[in-house]
Amino acid sequence: MPLDEALKHLVDRAVPLADDETVILDEALGRVLAQPVAATINVPAWDNSAMDGYAVRHQDINDLDELPVVQRIPAGTNGQPLIPGTAARIFTGAPVPEGADTVIMQEMIIREGEMIRVNADINAGSNIRRAGEDIRSGDEIIGSGTRLHPQHIGLAASTGIDKLIVKRNLRVAFFTTGDELTMPGRALQDGKIYNSNRYLFKGLLQKMGCDVIDLGNVVDQYDATCDALKTAAAKADLILSSGGVSVGEEDYVKKALEDMGSLDLWKIAVRPGKPLAFGNVNGVPFIGVPGNPVSLFVTFSIFVRPFILRSMGVSDVSPVEYKVAAGFDWERPDKRAEYMRARLVTNDDGQMVVNVYPSRSSGVLSSVTWADGMVVINPEQRLTKGDSVRYIPFSSLY
């Protein structure tokens, strides 16, 4: 199945969680907003000074050579109404006193004792932040379905809101498969490899804010695979596995899924990661990704991530991508869309370009730590240096 068709198939079948909960701001980071947030006050709440300087009536600095400074207004205090023909020493963030219409930066003032003279042309209304200039009371400031970043939480706090209604965390059960897998810290016997997928899977899920149910490694046996799927379906909103989804004699996940539930999607025209299974077990959605670690990382990023986000109630699940000049030639087109591990660099001409890792192998996990993103190469596409390519930074994925 073409990549775009497969991705739409998955995301369209992700059902957003119905359960909401209220959390304090300290616990809201990474959560998905269930209800829009409206401001309860104006921000700023009153006209305030944008600079350290002097609050005056603009007419006075045109009519008078100098003005006496008759009050001092630090941030957090209210001054007295400004007497015509006088000035108030004022600091950044302090309320502009009634009667003043302009703040003069202190660098534009000559002060002698308690008298000031202006040594520059000043426009009326300068250096004043107006009430409601940022936010008006009643405005929607954060939309439903937003995944909350520090700036969203800060914005809510700026209007006095201390609690937010969010979707509950998605419960995701996962397991790895393979008789060849050994846990790190144990002696490695002949024919065995260390289970990097378990930690890669868990880290990706934790980074996305899921409640993770780690079912460990499942041996290559049909009954054991069925038991793992049954346990996962009883505990989770989503089941994930790595390995066992191809057509080998020791690949049991696909068969168990077909026997216990349904298989709606299997082979995808993507490299790495063609064997990707999607279906359900007892009504719980299941996604099985390939066992090679790079394939796991890529297919998680392309398919699993947007499915999780949509299930969490996020409206826009597309990653940010940029058009960047290729710093490489690509003369080995594939019939499938290819996601090459890539890194932004500055070439000898001072231009920002993107290079790709030299190996296309789905087993070279070091290519992912070398990279800072992925380049998307379309089916049958050839490239020469300088051509425009799609670049997805890892920072936009999680």
Tokens read off for 12: 């369209």
Q: ω into residue 272 within 30 of 0, thus cis?
A: yes
pLDDT attached to residue 249: 56
One domain, residues 174 and 215: yes
On whether residue 25 sits in a domain, the answer given is: yes
In a domain, 317, yes or no: no
pLDDT score of 328 more than 70? yes
Q: Please say which residue of 311, 332, 362 terminates a domain.
A: 311
pLDDT of 109-149, one tens digit each? 999 999 999 988 999 999 999 999 999 999 999 999 999 99
Range of the domain at 336: 322-396
Query: Is 231 a domain residue?
Result: yes
Whose structure tokens read 């944008």?
A: 50
Query: At which of 311, 339, 370 does a domain end?
Result: 311
Same domain assignment for residues 153 and 250 = no
Summarize the confidence of residues 81-86 as an average pLDDT: 96
Identify whether residues 9 and 116 lie together within a single domain: no
Of the chain, the end-to-end C-alpha distance in Å amounts to: 26
Strand partners, 134: none
145 lies in the same domain as 119: no
Residues 53, 35 within the same domain: no
pTM of the model: 0.87
Percent of the chain with pLDDT over 90: 78
Domain count, the chain: 4
CA nearest 376: which of 10, 5, 3?
A: 3
Helix (H, G, I), strand (E, B) or coil at 6: helix
Pairing, β 352-356 against β 388-393: unpaired
Same-domain pairing of 212 and 238: yes
* % of the chain at pLDDT higher than 70: 98
Residue 251's domain is classified under what CATH number?
3.40.980.10
Answer yes or no: do 249 and 374 share one domain.
no
Pair (344, 362) in one structural domain = yes
**What's residue 248's pLDDT?**
56
Note whether 375 and 271 are same-domain residues. no
Q: Give tens-digit pLDDT for 235-293.
A: 999 999 998 766 555 578 888 888 888 888 778 889 988 788 899 999 999 999 988 99
Q: Does the residue 123 lie in any domain?
A: yes
State yes or no: pLDDT of 341 exceeds 70: yes
pLDDT tens-digit profile of 187-203?
888 888 889 999 999 99
CATH number at residue 25: 3.90.105.10
222 and 291 share one domain: yes
Evaluate whether 177 touches 242 at the Cβ level (below 8 Å).
yes
Query: Are 63 and 201 found together in one domain?
Result: no
Is the pLDDT score of 294 beyond 90?
Answer: yes
DSSP state of 395: G
C-alpha distances (whole Å) from 9 to each of 92, 241, 306 are: 54, 19, 11
Same domain, 258 and 382: no
